[in-house]
Chain A
Amino acid sequence: MAQEQPEGRWTAILTEINHCNKCGFCLPSCPTYRLTGQELHSPRGRIAMVEAAARGELEQWSALEEALTYCVACRNCETACPSGVHYARILEAGREFLRARHSRAFRGSFAAQQALRLAKYPGRLRGLVRLARRLTGVPLPGAWARFRAMLPPEPRPLPAGPPPRAARRGTLLWFDSCVMAAVFEEANRATQALLNAAGWRVVTVPRQTCCGAIHLHSGERAQALALARQNVAALEAAVAQYGAAGIVHNAGGCGAMLTEYPQVLAEDPAWAARAQRLAGLVQDFTALLWGEEGPLLPFQGNGERVALQNSCHLVNVAKAGQAPVRLLESVEGDTYVPYYGQEICCGSGGVYNLNHTDWALGILDQKMRAVATVHPTRIVVNNPGCHLQMQWGARRHPEVGAEVEHLATYLWRSYVRAAARASSEATAMEGTAAEGRP
């Protein structure tokens, strides 16, 4: 007997679950299974628990709650699944089922709730970050104290580049991640500068707000829907106004959320249709720096060994994880170092690291051990949550000896270096030509 879930919803979820052959191919892709070695904390185990609930085999909820609580929702299992099971739908259905039973499991810690609130007000978040950076000696409120290690050091100033070329490629709408805006402003500037250099005009979308991803994954569904609607309206207006060729972002998680708006808003067909029209326009900045014959800009490195912590949702949801890799491979003079276990989540998971700090750190420690095997001097990231988490990892594991940086600032510096070299070579050429003159 199905348990008190709307009949249609359970039927739909059981149909989805029916595609799971329990083959286990998802296990190695799952950060919590790798951490615990326990089925209950694997995608297959979580699906099995939701299946049991849907089939009326559960009499209480603690096991289901435990299974669904610790999922980071990186969705790497969806990429690994040979049968194409939509894991996130099953996870969401299970979490909703528990919420309807007033489970407290997904309420989030104090710090996480604060973070959700702050995300809607980038200005306040930015102020708080500045304060925390300045007052390193001052104790933070208890709930926040242990997270100070996530805070990146004061950013290095971005070097000035050559003047941008004419915007011959078209106009892009800039979708700003709230955390990026607050903590990683220079990465935003670098992203826009790179796009400009590549010939794109970039316009910031007025009246945009937080994408709502962390709210959705924290069970604040109503909040998430409200934020989604506000963004859809703002983006629609901007597309109409500027005739934009695309909506660009530099935060994999936020971008993936935009592409998922049609599913998020599915219960409201009119909004879903509007979101659907926008979803096809969303692109990560890296895709827009790659042309038909290769990178649109030259990149010159500095003898570094560069590892990538790709945004899980960019890879697993937006399916756009290859562009960052291709760009890194194109950097002359640096070595891009792939490593075993690279595709595994770092444990950031939006506010997962605020809610389940011990698990997040366990996952992070595994990540740092994996990345250490290739001895990187630099770890680049392309999502603010991952940035904060990897920063924490670098502090916890000084033996790795790698600096953490956003992909955009890294690429910008490499571009400036390449441009400088090209111009000095050009000067030298001119000089040679001048000397050769009779």
Chain B
Amino acid sequence: MRKPLWGALERPGLDIQGPNLAPDALEQLRQRLVAAVGAHRVWSDAEKLLAYSYDATGERHLPDLVVFVDRPEEIGTVVQVLGAAGMPIIGRGAGTNLSGGTMPIAGGAVLALARLNRVREVDVENLRAVVEPGVVNADFQEVLAPYHLFFAPDPGSHRISTLGGNVSENAGGPHCVKYGVTTNHVLGGLCYLVDGKPRRLPTTRDWRGSLDVTGLLTGSEGTLGLLAELELQVLPKPPRVETLLAAFDDLDRATEAVSAIIRARIVPSTLELLDRVSIETVERFAHAGYPKDAEAVLLIEVDGSPEAAEEERRRVEALLAEVGAISVARATTPTEVERLWKGRRSAYGAAAQVSSHIWVQDVTVPRPLLPAMMREVNQIGRRYGLTILIIAHAGDGNLHPNITYDPADPDEVARMHAADREIIEACVRMGGSITGEHGVGIDKLEHLALMYGPDELAVMWEIKAAWDPQNLLNPFKAVLPPERHHRARARTEPSRAAREVAERIEAALVSSKPVSVHGSEARRLLAPPPAEDAPFGIRTGHWDAIVEVDEGNLTVTVEPGVTARELVEVLAARGLEVPSLPHLARTVGGLVASNARHWGYRGLGWRDHVVMAEWVDGRGRVVRFGRKTMKNVAGYDVTKLMIGSWGMLGVLTELTLRLRPKPVARRVGRISGAPASDLFTITDGLRRSPMPPAGMLLHLEGTSGTLYVQVEGADWEAAQRRVEALAAERGLLVGWEDEALGHQLDEVHEAAVRRALAEGSYWEGGGLPANLRQYWSEGLGDEAWLFPFSGAIEVTRGTPAGAAWWVRRRIAEAPEWRRDPDWIEPEDRLFRVFDPHRLLPKPPAPDGLDSSR
């Protein structure tokens, strides 16, 4: 039994024995590793291993081995060798995480990936980059800078944390309020599951053919697979950023200012809040020049074209004056920007100087509850006699109460842990997530049961067991076997739809007969058909209530049968919208379940908008994953699996979607009857524009077609000018109309898809956006719809010549799905988690297509 190291905490449920290989077995293993990667890259000397016993969390646990990986393909070999010996495998980048995610709590081999630090490709045409996992976030930004591109996630640790770590923890940062978290920027990559085979991750773009396993792996903390290469979305750098620092003599006024900005339909790129204790500490140690008498300060940034950013900044200034800020400072030079950021950036360090250690907590609550949560934290701090500094990503309800303590003072450590738990309990009571961006690691395993009921805990563990039955990949992190949770929260109260669906499925289970699910879904003809003898039909169309529109939080909760058109209208009346909703009679549940793309949104589709989902799986379990916050995940992001799962994993019974203010202006431009090659030139130029349009759709009929472009928001004029300039270069004119033209287009497109499906002449799929021209030149039938931002293709008439790109089609009578051979087995394992009795439909794989197995 290994000697515990100083600093190891007692953690409920984590009294784990390491692998404890006999010395000669360990030596044999070492030799096999040496044969694979070379002697100097395998460490087994117990004292050298101490350097891999810690991360930024502050505990220490000794590994059995460290293996340094220099080439991505070595991961496979090393995983196979270690797996065969039953040795746990802990992937590690820079070791800067704050939840113990890289600590070898059960011993094992640390796979040091920091040396995999090459940026393989910056693909300006497709706004993507391919990197190795050990590339440091800040180094990556530096490589992108000459291209005027940036990678949106920039966690506080960006100067040292690796991209592999950022993806594994689903890192956040100060810009999430506008740009989302890391998972919103992962396109794909290469991964090794525990079998040591390399697998290309399925794309997260809106034409993917697989389950969103990339979304599942993102934020899975190295427990499901090891990332060997990442394909990341990069964005054009906004030409102008405006920075403000507003001070308030009252905390509530500061949070009121946050709400006022959101209500005014402004989406700032940064909205950070520091409380009085933080300001005092920052001023004492960093002298940032923040107003000392303030109860709170807000650091606010807006970005965009110079005109739009200035206009938004002026509007923010007016709102701040209205709410009653005591002072507003504006940066006009890079030095001043640096100065305004200095207090925020040095907050962690200043806190670290108050006392020898700080405990960095990370919780999220729905944004309107942020003031209440902050008051609660302050009360807890007073009760336990602790100094707590609060820094909040106020725009997304994510707060970091930083508790100062001295690890050498056992009483203070005990009070700190008690306070910590109360903070987490408060956050759960308010419907938040127990982690926003730091992950569960080992630190929050014991708190998972506060947030999830027994069924959710079971589902997450079953996913882990399905892909890693021996529990070798970063064991006892992020998820736990249910029996190790010593207290579980009561079952989640199911929605009315869930209660009914659960009854139907239980009945089906008793009789072992499959079920069929019917929404009013237009794409049903493309969906996997239910078994022919499915006597249990479940209709979802009549659950059509809009359960809650939370305007302050910018979320809407709906039943699955609500139609898109109704939801669009209800939201529009409040000045809000969901970006991917077409103006159609299709149900929201159907759109999400089939991951239906919409041309007006250039991001990654529904996975960017669904923050919480409830469903009933094939075992009759009602589960609810995600929360009413943008940083909505603790444990696995199971919600992602449901988006585009076509009813194969369960029946959706409730959805919560993220809203955004409806843009102040929206114009739809049309370039009609132009040569296709000219239109491709225009779309390629617009994709790379620093002020890209919101969406594009290219409708091609043979060699000519029509391009639709949507411009919107504060920057619509700049975007419109860019469209016109590019069109003029090809001698083409753009006709502009209001968004009714977009609605018309939705209907024409919808009709074409319905007809094609009915006639059995429909293909869909995609590829790299810049390759669309090539697919077209190879032949895309008589009528095709191309999505120049995502690279999606739909063919609605004729027969395409090229066959490389399609993932689903309906020709003649039946839908056909082309599954990625690498992922068939892992996907089938996931199907067994949710539907072991095969009551629900499964992918229709035509004969011959998966014969490569």
A interface residues (Cβ-Cβ under 8 A, vs B): 18-19, 21-25, 27-28, 36-40, 45, 48-49, 52, 55, 57-60, 62-64, 66-67, 81-84, 340
- Cβ B52 vs Cβ A39 within 8 A: yes
Q: Interface on chain B toward A: helix, strand, loop, or mixed SS?
A: loop
- B352 close to A (CB within 8 Å): yes
Q: Mark B295-322, 1 if CB is under 8 A from A, else 0.
A: 0000000000000000000000000000
Partner of A37, one of B114, B159, B350: B114
- Cβ A37 vs Cβ B112 within 8 A: yes
Q: Mark B348-373, 1 if CB is under 8 A from A, else 0.
A: 11101100111000000000000000
Assembled-state Cα–Cα distance A23/B155 (Å): 13
- Cβ B48 vs Cβ A23 within 8 A: no
- Cβ B407 vs Cβ A57 within 8 A: no
Asked whether A49 and B55 contact (CB < 8 A) given A27-B160, A37-B68, A83-B353, the answer is no
- Cβ B94 vs Cβ A67 within 8 A: no
Assembled-state Cα–Cα distance A231/B142 (Å): 45
Assembled-state Cα–Cα distance A24/B406 (Å): 19
Q: Which residue of B lies closest to A66 (CB)?
A: B48
Q: Which residue of A lies closest to B145 (CB)?
A: A340
Assembled-state Cα–Cα distance A27/B160 (Å): 7
Partner of B138, one of A28, A48, A62: A28
- Cβ B357 vs Cβ A49 within 8 A: no
- In order of increasing CB-CB distance, the 7 nearest A-B pairs are A82-B349, A63-B47, A83-B352, A24-B96, A37-B115, A37-B114, A39-B51
- Cβ B408 vs Cβ A62 within 8 A: no
- B residues in contact with A37, CB < 8 Å: 68, 112, 114-115, 117, 134
Measured CB to CB, the closest approach of chain A to B287, in angstroms, equals 14
Assembled-state Cα–Cα distance A27/B142 (Å): 17
Partner of B406, one of A18, A63, A82: A18
Q: Which of B52-107 contact A (CB under 8 A)?
A: 52-58, 68, 94-96
Partner of A63, one of B50, B56, B353: B50
- B residues in contact with A36, CB < 8 Å: 115
- B672 close to A (CB within 8 Å): no
- B residues in contact with A22, CB < 8 Å: 54-58
- A residues in contact with B112, CB < 8 Å: 37-39
- Cβ A48 vs Cβ B53 within 8 A: yes
Assembled-state Cα–Cα distance A82/B57 (Å): 15
Measured CB to CB, the closest approach of chain B to A407, in angstroms, equals 23
Asked whether A57 and B94 contact (CB < 8 A) given A19-B352, A22-B58, A37-B134, the answer is no
- Cβ A24 vs Cβ B56 within 8 A: yes
Residues of B in contact (CB 8 Å), total 43
28 A–B contacts from the bound complex (CB under 8 Å): A18-B406, A19-B356, A22-B54, A22-B55, A22-B56, A23-B352, A24-B56, A24-B95, A24-B96, A25-B157, A27-B94, A27-B96, A28-B138, A37-B117, A38-B51, A39-B51, A39-B52, A39-B112, A40-B48, A48-B50, A55-B6, A57-B3, A59-B47, A63-B45, A63-B47, A63-B48, A84-B349, A340-B142
Asked whether A45 and B51 contact (CB < 8 A) given A28-B136, A57-B6, the answer is yes
- A residues in contact with B349, CB < 8 Å: 81-84
- B5 close to A (CB within 8 Å): yes
Assembled-state Cα–Cα distance A262/B805 (Å): 72
Q: Mark B135-159, 1 if CB is under 8 A from A, else 0.
A: 0101000100000000000000101
- B residues in contact with A63, CB < 8 Å: 45, 47-48, 50-51
- B346 close to A (CB within 8 Å): yes
- A residues in contact with B114, CB < 8 Å: 37-38
- A residues in contact with B161, CB < 8 Å: 24
Q: Which of B432-489 contact A (CB under 8 A)?
A: none
Assembled-state Cα–Cα distance A83/B94 (Å): 19
Assembled-state Cα–Cα distance A22/B356 (Å): 12
Besides A23-B348, A63-B47, 4 other CB < 8 A contacts? A18-B407, A18-B408, A36-B115, A52-B50
Q: Which of the listed residues A36, A52, A55, A81 has the most CB atoms from chain B within 10 Å of its own CB?
A: A52
Q: Which of the listed residues B117, B157, B350, B352 has the most CB atoms from chain A within 10 Å of its own CB?
A: B352
Q: Which of B1-23 contact A (CB under 8 A)?
A: 3, 5-6
Q: Which residue of B lies closest to A27 (CB)?
A: B160
Assembled-state Cα–Cα distance A49/B349 (Å): 23
Assembled-state Cα–Cα distance A82/B142 (Å): 22
- A residues in contact with B358, CB < 8 Å: 21
Q: Which of the listed residues B51, B112, B348 has the most CB atoms from chain A within 10 Å of its own CB?
A: B51
Asked whether A57 and B160 contact (CB < 8 A) given A21-B56, A21-B357, A82-B352, the answer is no
Assembled-state Cα–Cα distance A83/B357 (Å): 9
Measured CB to CB, the closest approach of chain B to A245, in angstroms, equals 28
Q: Which residue of B lies closest to A25 (CB)?
A: B160
- Cβ B47 vs Cβ A21 within 8 A: no
Assembled-state Cα–Cα distance A58/B68 (Å): 23
- Cβ A62 vs Cβ B348 within 8 A: no
Asked whether A48 and B54 contact (CB < 8 A) given A37-B68, A60-B47, A82-B348, the answer is yes
- A residues in contact with B160, CB < 8 Å: 24-25, 27-28
Q: Which residue of B lies closest to A60 (CB)?
A: B47
Q: Which residue of B lies closest to A82 (CB)?
A: B349
Asked whether A23 and B47 contact (CB < 8 A) given A39-B95, A83-B349, A84-B353, the answer is no
- Cβ B346 vs Cβ A82 within 8 A: yes
Measured CB to CB, the closest approach of chain A to B57, in angstroms, equals 8
Assembled-state Cα–Cα distance A83/B402 (Å): 14
Measured CB to CB, the closest approach of chain A to B165, in angstroms, equals 10
Q: Which residue of A lies closest to B348 (CB)?
A: A82
Measured CB to CB, the closest approach of chain B to A24, in angstroms, equals 4
Assembled-state Cα–Cα distance A62/B445 (Å): 37
Measured CB to CB, the closest approach of chain B to A329, in angstroms, equals 13
- A residues in contact with B157, CB < 8 Å: 23-25
- B residues in contact with A18, CB < 8 Å: 356-357, 406-408
Assembled-state Cα–Cα distance A235/B711 (Å): 72
Q: Which of the listed residues A48, A59, A64 has the most CB atoms from chain B within 10 Å of its own CB?
A: A48
- A residues in contact with B346, CB < 8 Å: 82
- A residues in contact with B95, CB < 8 Å: 24, 39
Assembled-state Cα–Cα distance A405/B5 (Å): 50
Q: Which residue of A lies closest to B161 (CB)?
A: A24
Q: Which of the listed residues A22, A23, A66 has the most CB atoms from chain B within 10 Å of its own CB?
A: A23
- A residues in contact with B5, CB < 8 Å: 57
Assembled-state Cα–Cα distance A165/B348 (Å): 50
Q: Which of the listed residues A18, A57, A82 has the most CB atoms from chain B within 10 Å of its own CB?
A: A82
- B residues in contact with A52, CB < 8 Å: 47, 50
Measured CB to CB, the closest approach of chain A to B111, in angstroms, equals 12
Assembled-state Cα–Cα distance A437/B114 (Å): 75
Assembled-state Cα–Cα distance A24/B94 (Å): 7
- Cβ B6 vs Cβ A67 within 8 A: no
- A residues in contact with B142, CB < 8 Å: 340
- A residues in contact with B45, CB < 8 Å: 62-63
Q: Which residue of A lies closest to B95 (CB)?
A: A24
